[in-house]
């Protein structure tokens, strides 16, 4: 039995929503500067399937996007379950 459950970050979607709401382009560098997070960490969250990070990172992103944890990430269950 293999387990492929994972947490999927919706960082790309959150950036798109913020861009639409503010009517301007938002870069990863801007998010990094505003949150104090490393640009490489944000890039991994965006690009690496199943990337894991700490609660401090999640908290900073929720503050930046003014959202709840559920808006930023979701549990993706094992399709075989």
Q: Is the pLDDT confidence value at 1 over 50?
A: no
- Find the mean pLDDT for residues 37-58: 92
The 3-class secondary structure across the chain, one letter per residue, is CCCCCEEEECHHHHHHHHHHHHCCCCCHHHHHHHHCCCHHHHHHHHHCCCCCCCHHHHHHHHHHHCCCHHHHEEEECCCCC
Domain 6-68 -> CATH class:
mainly alpha
Q: Is the pLDDT confidence value at 6 over 90?
A: no
- Find the mean pLDDT for residues 34-55: 92
- Find the mean pLDDT for residues 41-47: 94
Q: Provide the residue ranges of all domains of the chain, joining segments of one domain with +.
A: 6-68
Q: Is the pLDDT confidence value at 4 over 80?
A: no
């Amino acid at each position: 039995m293999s387990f492929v459950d994972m947490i999927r970050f919706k960082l790309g979607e959150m950036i798109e929503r913020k861009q639409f709401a503010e009517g301007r382009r938002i870069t990863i560098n801007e998010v990094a500067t505003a949150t104090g997070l490393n640009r490489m960490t944000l890039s991994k969250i965006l690009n690496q399937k199943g990337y894991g990070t700490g609660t401090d990172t999640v908290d900073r992103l929720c503050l930046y996007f003014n959202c709840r944890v559920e808006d930023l990430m979701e549990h993706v269950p094992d399709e075989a379950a």
